[in-house]
Amino acid sequence: MSDKKDERPPPDGTVTEDAVFGVISEDGPNYRNLGWKGTAVLMMKAQIGLGVLSIPEAFNTLGLVPGIVCLLAIAVVTTWSGYMVGVFKLNHRDIYGVDDATGLIFGPVGREILGVGFSLFLIFSGASGILSLSIALNAISSHGTCTAVFVAVAAIVVLGLASIQTLDRIGMLAWAGLGCLLTSIFIVTIAVGIQDRPDAAPQTGPWSSDYKIVNSPSFAKGIAAISQLTFAFTGTPFFFPIVCEMRDPRHYTKSLAICQSVATVIYIVIGIVVYYYCGSYVSSPALGSAGKLIKQIAYGIALPGLFVTSTISTHMASKYFFIRIMRGSRHLAANTPLHWFTWLSCVGAVIAVAYIIASAIPIFGSLISLLGALLGTLQVFQPAGFMWLYDNWAKGRIGTRQESLRWMFMVAFSVFMVVLGCFLMVAGTYGAVVGIIDGLRADGASGVWSCADNS
């Protein structure tokens, strides 16, 4: 069941042939030039993206303690999912995405089902990034023009950035993007702690935060909030393409540990502080919680990070289609006219679809919930369980008693991951759809292709 090879990179670190990209030559892009530090930053930028901006709102729905417990539980199971990505890639070198993994396990039907889910997840992630960019541009300019124009401008800029061919080059942008996004979030976190009251709260009379230790939401709202927390940890689908471009995939686990540790600490700190001081008046995205001036400053600093977030998602979606089309051809890793035409066509098509989604679902929190529930869980929970079972099922008949007990525990845990993913996918999608319908019906809600201020 394994085609694992000892593919140690040569002493100079240059990879000349790859099971996914084929022969890598000097006249084409080097798809295997990503070091472990760059990998860690790309993974953190994929993980710490739009999801962190909705965590305080999720805490508002669930309450502080249930919110923290749910967040930590999701962090643990998604860390294991991310670990399985690295293990499965080392065992099966020709895997590029989660669809290849499920294709190996379930055959062509499984590959196509997860392939559709994988590509839609990346495109929807790019769309939510474009939507957040329109919110940022509205906030910075005090609604300087029609929101539909800002959505289009964001899509055009992302189109240019996503056209960069390799992740090691985008990794340079990720360093700056991650720094900008974290700086802006911590500015808001500090500001809500020292200001008199949040921007959305009544501005006259005495006021104190109405945060709740435990809240009692409806099932639809509660499961939608859990889906928002889930989305904050749905970087796992990005990890397969990232590990594929590493010079030495054996260092992947080190990068994963850094990514998950940093992300979890940041999520908890930001979620607790912002919700504690803002209570039910927390904004989504959270950057709008500290008043107009801080909001403008925070969005201005976060702008590069938001561009990189959408760039990574749309780049990976485009590369998924590009590899499906060009795999096995010399044009995949050579800068030929056909290579460039196909690549730019894939990027253009992905951006066009992302633009349509961003314009059609203009409610940030609900879009995040839908993305986390319908597509995120399908990429994070179920595949990890099936990957462990595929590689380890036969081992239950051999080994010592202690090894057999460990095997039985891991079988049970893998099945639990599959069941949990299915439950969150169905229930979370229901909650997200209810939220979208309620949001579109609400007074003052932005409609599709709307000019209304969405900041």
Question: For the purposes of burial, counting CB atoms within 10 Å of the CB of 19, is it exposed (0-12), middle (13-18) or buried (19 or more)?
Answer: middle
How far apart CA 155 and CA 160 sit, in angstroms, is 9
How far apart CA 176 and CA 230 sit, in angstroms, is 25
Structure tokens at 434: 């209810």
User: At residue 103, what is the residue type?
Assistant: G
C-beta separation of 39 from 259 below 8 A: no
Q: Cis before residue 285, ω within 30 degrees of 0? A: yes
Q: How confident is the model over 136-146, as pLDDT tens digits?
A: 999 899 888 88
Longest dimension (CA), the chain: 72
| Residues with Cβ within 8 Å of residue 370, at least 6 apart in sequence | 124, 227, 361, 429, 432, 433, 436
Q: Is the pTM of this model over 0.85?
A: no
How far apart CA 200 and CA 151 sit, in angstroms, is 25
Q: How confident is the model over 29-80, as pLDDT tens digits?
A: 888 888 999 899 989 988 887 678 789 999 999 999 999 999 999 999 999 9
Q: How confident is the model over 92-130, as pLDDT tens digits?
A: 988 988 889 999 999 999 899 988 888 988 898 898 889
- Other C-beta atoms closer than 10 Å to the C-beta of 210 total 11
Residues belonging to the chain? 455
- Rg of the chain over Cα atoms, rounded to whole angstroms, equals 22
Q: How confident is the model over 281-327, as pLDDT tens digits?
A: 888 777 778 878 888 999 999 999 999 989 999 999 999 999 999 98
Instruction: Tell which residue, 375, 423, 395, has the closest CA to residue 124.
Output: 375
Q: Tell me the domains of the chain and their CATH numbers.
A: 44-441 (1.10.4160)
